Amino acid sequence: MRNGAVAEAQWPARTVTLSDGQLVALRLMGLADREKMITFARSLPKDDQLFLRTDITQPSNVDEWMRHIKEGATVTVLAEIGDKVVGYASVHTDQARWTRTIGEIRMQVGRPFRGLGLGRVLAAEIFRAGQERGLRKMAAMMTPDQAGARAAFEKLGFQIEALLQSWVVDQNGRPRDLIIMSQMLDTSMKNAAA
């Protein structure tokens, strides 16, 4: 489950067409993508940056992310147009033995590319990556007003597991609720093949 080379072999790069006709390349993020990710994160509106689980506008945090990719604890799918990152989806696993089969999905799509189906594509791809890694359960966190993200995960069968009231604080200091959505994965096919 922690082998990055296995993940790359099971996840081939490909191109998808958005609803407006734009072609987007999807591929696994690698160590050479550090500066591209920082540039993408810094291009996000301040309110989007506030809700990043980790402040990836800071190079040291992206370095930590890269370390997790190298160790195989994280898989990240990048969406690119040309050489510019326009979105990503990651599945992060915990090192703790008792939660090692649970993956947390983190996803972000650049504002100009929202509403075009890219979030749904990224959610499906990272969900598939989690299945291929043998994860037992996947979870995603969002605020209630992130309707597009919620819809993308609902289409994958995720359900609300928890609503945490006033759990996060927005850029204006106002408390906001946090939704945790999750889904148990069917790993029986993977286990049967092993």
85: which 2 tokens? 């990152």
Class of CATH domain 4-136 = alpha beta
Q: Which residues of 110-146 are buried (b: 16+ CB within 10 A; e: fewer)?
A: beebeebbbbbbbbbbbbebbbbbebebbbbbbbeeb
Query: Cα 70 to chain center, whole Å?
Result: 17
CB under 8 Å to 134, separation ≥6 — which residues?
1, 101, 187, 190, 191
> For position 10, what pLDDT does the model report?
60
- Name the pLDDT band for 3 (thresholds 50, 70, 90): very low
Sequence spans of domains, the chain: 4-136
Does residue 194 register a pLDDT over 70? no
Q: In the sheet that 137-142 helps form, which strands lie side by side, from edge to edge?
A: 14-17, 23-28, 74-81, 84-93, 102-109, 137-142, 175-184, 159-169
> For position 95, what pLDDT does the model report?
63
What are the tens digits of pLDDT across the range 82-130? 999 999 999 988 765 656 678 899 999 999 998 899 998 998 898 888 8
> For position 82, what pLDDT does the model report?
92
